A and B are shown apart, each in its own frame.
Chain A
Amino acid sequence: MSGTFVGMPAFPKAARDAVRDTTLRGNLRHATHTIRDKRAKAVAELDDWQQLREAGKRIKDLTLRHLDRHLLRLEESVTAAGGTVHWAADAAEANRIVGDLVKATGETEVVKVKSMATQEIGLNEALAAEGIHAYETDLAELIVQLGDDRPSHILVPAIHRNRAEIRAIFRDRMAGWGRPAPEGLTDNPADLAEAARLHLREKFLRAKVGISGANFMVAETGTLVVFESEGNGRMCLTLPETLISVVGIEKTVPTWQDLEVFLQTLPRSSTAERMNPYTSMWTGTADGDGPQTFHLVLLDNGRTDALADDVGRQALRCIRCSACLNVCPVYERAGGHAYGSVYPGPIGAILTPQLRGTTSEIDASLPYASSLCGACYEVCPVAIDIPEVLVHLREKVADRGGPGHRLEKAAMKAATWAMDHPGAMAAGERAASRTRALHPRRPPGAGAWTDSRDLPELPAEPFRDWWRKNRT
């Protein structure tokens, strides 16, 4: 992953700052609670939700197990349908490929559909360095771009902004990017949407190059699929002469029929709708309809590292619905920016450290950005056991050592020995009970913990002794 968020403090520090921001907390609480309840209703409409969830999980697992085969099939299908396939091992390669393709058209501006993959590789910044302006056209991405801000949610990157803040950004910034905001703009969401419509329309109508990601790629047919709501996706996918799609290799599904599962689970999990307003499906190029030149850039950028991890590879099932963000108590309080990545929330906490490793302080802290409550696993439409992966990644971080983790490891090792030796454990418990009057209230070295918590009282006798006396 690229350095979009370089210099971010580790999660605990960033989260501490965020929870003190009462506007941010209010915005997040309002938005996540709204969507949470609606999602539960949308899911409850389908009696076979659990079967769809299991089918989605298995489709993804089976695809990942034979990903080489499916990628080759996809390449063949897209090529046969008139597209050109490129392969990019990392962000730098992908950015270079896209930059060269845009330059070959002679254009200096592109319109973009919201895409996590292009956020991940920092494509806009890379294009800017080549003198190419990339205009974000999703409403939330537009808010982020105009506000010189960072995305904080997978689905709604400007979730941290309320309507009054959005109005101020539009009023102050739109003129610098094109058509100014209408006079007397209110903070009514419908008026804000209208302002975005007017601002972006001139860009859509003159655009010669569109850039997108994709939610799914069908290997057997070469079909790409984009789910969206506003119509900005359709604009970017059909009006330009050239379309460039940058897609992670894990977005592949083998068959056309596989889409019937995700077309049911993704909209309901994501925007809590039976179906999102617009879904576009295209296979290569179509004569006289839409872009006549189509490039697909297949992106690895750390995905094969995640694929190599027996436990962690399930994160690659993710269909980016963001349901796990909306139910997460940690995300609700800390906000998306604290995760220091374009992938925030529970899925980000397991995806980011796998995609870019755990060498930086922020990435090593991400597996700890959770209370392991399991709500994320419950709502995941492809049954990613996020708590399981978090614990697994914590082990990996701890194994590597470092301050704190060495002590934890030593303590766990001692505990393991004691559990394996019941006699020693019982003797230790009795000794602890007899000496309880002598115990310090604040054990040395645990200050951060006991600053805000009391140690539990030790009982007068160990539980096992009590049990033997009273119950046997």
Chain B
Amino acid sequence: MNARDRILARVRAAVEGAPEAPPVVRDYLVSHTPDDPAAVLDLLHENLVDYRARVHRTDEAGIGALVAGLLAARGAGSVLVPRGLPPEWLAEAACAHVEDGAESTAADLDAVTSVVTGCALAIAETGTLVLDGGPAQGRRRITLVPDHHICVVRVPGQIVASVPQAMARLDPGRPLTWISGPSATSDIELDRVEGVHGPRTLDVVLLSP
């Protein structure tokens, strides 16, 4: 018998005659937040800040200048541009634009200062951005290797209140990255310190129409 058959046989023998387990009751809340888009937006803002993301609000008319300002303040020599990024987001950015391509290596990405992406959605109750590799997001590695990530969230369309609401909208077939603040560790005396391997600076732009 191979390992697969042995394990399956052992599993079956182990639970044979065990009583049926009670059904799962999903009586937990779908959301902990009142259904008010302005309140949900404020909560997202507050929770992002609480985990040390820097949050900015703007509209379509102001995004070019805002992103250019963030890149300049960082002293960014170059910015990674995923496919499908709306051109107006980087229209005023003076630094070199680097298109991400399959041929660029991890070391190439390490030489780039910043990256600008969109997202799939943002979760207000936890201050979380979810990326799914869709348009304006690119491969997972481009939001990981550069030390500075600017992530644009469309208000209100891309904001949900809660984790259950997010799960219902996400496609498990896509590679998903949930980001809640810049990288951090609690490994030294169980105290949170921001900034380890992922981007140490996370700018979130809440973009209204």
The answer to whether A34 and B11 touch across the interface, beta carbons within 8 angstroms, is: no
Q: Does A71 contact B (CB under 8 A)?
A: yes
Secondary structure call for the A interface: helix
Q: Does B74 contact A (CB under 8 A)?
A: no
Secondary structure call for the B interface: loop
The answer to whether A277 and B187 touch across the interface, beta carbons within 8 angstroms, is: no
Instruction: A239-B145, A300-B7 are known; give 13 further A-B pairs, CB within 8 A.
Output: A34-B190, A35-B190, A51-B25, A156-B186, A193-B188, A197-B196, A259-B167, A264-B163, A275-B126, A277-B181, A278-B178, A281-B177, A308-B13
Q: Does B203 contact A (CB under 8 A)?
A: no
Most chain B beta-carbon neighbours within 10 Å: one of A190, A218, A229? A229
Most chain B beta-carbon neighbours within 10 Å: one of A143, A277, A288? A277
Which residues of A pack against B, CB within 8 Å?
Answer: 27, 30-32, 34-35, 45-48, 51-52, 54-55, 58-59, 61-62, 64-68, 71-72, 81, 86-89, 93, 137-140, 143, 155-156, 158-159, 162-163, 166, 189-190, 192-194, 196-197, 200-201, 204-205, 218, 221, 223, 229-232, 234-235, 238-239, 249, 256-261, 263-264, 267, 271, 273-283, 286, 288-290, 298, 300, 304-305, 307-308, 310, 313
- Give the docked Cα–Cα distance between A238 and B131 (Å): 14
- Give the docked Cα–Cα distance between A288 and B141 (Å): 11
Nearest CB of chain B from residue A430's CB, rounded to whole Å: 46
Nearest CB of chain B from residue A215's CB, rounded to whole Å: 12
Nearest CB of chain A from residue B101's CB, rounded to whole Å: 10
10 closest residue pairs by CB, A with B: A231-B198, A231-B197, A308-B14, A230-B196, A304-B10, A275-B126, A279-B178, A307-B14, A140-B187, A231-B183
The answer to whether B183 and A68 touch across the interface, beta carbons within 8 angstroms, is: no
Of B15-23, B62-70, B86-94, B151-159, the stretch lying at the interface with chain A is: B15-23
Question: B13: which A residues are within 8 A, CB to CB?
Answer: 304, 308
Question: B34: which A residues are within 8 A, CB to CB?
Answer: none
Most chain A beta-carbon neighbours within 10 Å: one of B10, B23, B27, B188? B188
Across the two chains, which residue of chain B brings its CB closest to A53? B28
The answer to whether A58 and B24 touch across the interface, beta carbons within 8 angstroms, is: yes
Question: A261: which B residues are within 8 A, CB to CB?
Answer: 28
Partner of B177 from the list A239, A264, A279 (CB cut-off 8 Å) is: A279
Q: Does B144 contact A (CB under 8 A)?
A: yes
Partner of B187 from the list A158, A201, A279, A307 (CB cut-off 8 Å) is: A158
The answer to whether B32 and A193 touch across the interface, beta carbons within 8 angstroms, is: no
Q: How many A-B residue pairs have CB under 8 A?
A: 254
Across the two chains, which residue of chain B brings its CB closest to A139? B187
Q: Does B133 contact A (CB under 8 A)?
A: yes
The answer to whether A159 and B172 touch across the interface, beta carbons within 8 angstroms, is: no
The answer to whether A156 and B173 touch across the interface, beta carbons within 8 angstroms, is: no
Which residues of B pack against A, CB within 8 Å?
Answer: 2-4, 6-8, 10-15, 18, 20-29, 32, 47, 51, 102, 106-107, 110, 123, 125-128, 133, 139-141, 144-145, 163-164, 167-168, 172-199
The answer to whether B3 and A88 touch across the interface, beta carbons within 8 angstroms, is: yes
The answer to whether B173 and A221 touch across the interface, beta carbons within 8 angstroms, is: yes
Across the two chains, which residue of chain A brings its CB closest to B101? A288
The answer to whether B179 and A48 touch across the interface, beta carbons within 8 angstroms, is: no
Interface pairs (27), CB distance under 8 Å: A34-B190, A35-B186, A48-B32, A51-B27, A54-B25, A65-B15, A87-B2, A88-B3, A89-B7, A138-B187, A143-B187, A155-B186, A189-B188, A201-B197, A205-B106, A205-B110, A229-B184, A231-B183, A234-B177, A239-B144, A261-B28, A267-B126, A271-B186, A280-B175, A280-B177, A283-B172, A283-B173
Partner of B3 from the list A32, A87, A192 (CB cut-off 8 Å) is: A87
- Give the docked Cα–Cα distance between A155 and B141 (Å): 25
**Given A64-B21, A68-B8: A156 in contact with B183 (beta carbons within 8 A):** no
- Give the docked Cα–Cα distance between A159 and B175 (Å): 32
Most chain B beta-carbon neighbours within 10 Å: one of A68, A231, A279? A231
Question: A283: which B residues are within 8 A, CB to CB?
Answer: 172-175
Question: A163: which B residues are within 8 A, CB to CB?
Answer: 188-189
Nearest CB of chain A from residue B30's CB, rounded to whole Å: 9
The answer to whether A156 and B187 touch across the interface, beta carbons within 8 angstroms, is: yes
The answer to whether A274 and B172 touch across the interface, beta carbons within 8 angstroms, is: no
The answer to whether B18 and A65 touch across the interface, beta carbons within 8 angstroms, is: yes
Question: A34: which B residues are within 8 A, CB to CB?
Answer: 189-191
Nearest CB of chain A from residue B177's CB, rounded to whole Å: 6
Question: A47: which B residues are within 8 A, CB to CB?
Answer: 29, 32
The answer to whether B190 and A286 touch across the interface, beta carbons within 8 angstroms, is: no
The answer to whether B183 and A230 touch across the interface, beta carbons within 8 angstroms, is: yes
Nearest CB of chain B from residue A417's CB, rounded to whole Å: 32
Question: B27: which A residues are within 8 A, CB to CB?
Answer: 48, 51, 55
Question: A93: which B residues are within 8 A, CB to CB?
Answer: 3
**Given A139-B188, A274-B125: A58 in contact with B22 (beta carbons within 8 A):** yes
Question: B185: which A residues are within 8 A, CB to CB?
Answer: 139, 193, 229-230
Question: B11: which A residues are within 8 A, CB to CB?
Answer: 67-68, 71, 249, 304, 307
- Give the docked Cα–Cα distance between A47 and B141 (Å): 37
Question: A61: which B residues are within 8 A, CB to CB?
Answer: 21-22
- Give the docked Cα–Cα distance between A189 and B194 (Å): 10
The answer to whether A27 and B189 touch across the interface, beta carbons within 8 angstroms, is: yes
Question: A81: which B residues are within 8 A, CB to CB?
Answer: 173
The answer to whether A204 and B106 touch across the interface, beta carbons within 8 angstroms, is: yes
Partner of A230 from the list B28, B191, B198 (CB cut-off 8 Å) is: B198
Across the two chains, which residue of chain B brings its CB closest to A167? B188
The answer to whether B195 and A190 touch across the interface, beta carbons within 8 angstroms, is: yes
The answer to whether A286 and B178 touch across the interface, beta carbons within 8 angstroms, is: no
The answer to whether A159 and B28 touch across the interface, beta carbons within 8 angstroms, is: no
- Give the docked Cα–Cα distance between A236 and B137 (Å): 20
Question: A271: which B residues are within 8 A, CB to CB?
Answer: 186, 192
The answer to whether A62 and B24 touch across the interface, beta carbons within 8 angstroms, is: yes
Question: A249: which B residues are within 8 A, CB to CB?
Answer: 7, 11
- Give the docked Cα–Cα distance between A55 and B196 (Å): 34
Partner of B7 from the list A221, A223, A298 (CB cut-off 8 Å) is: A298
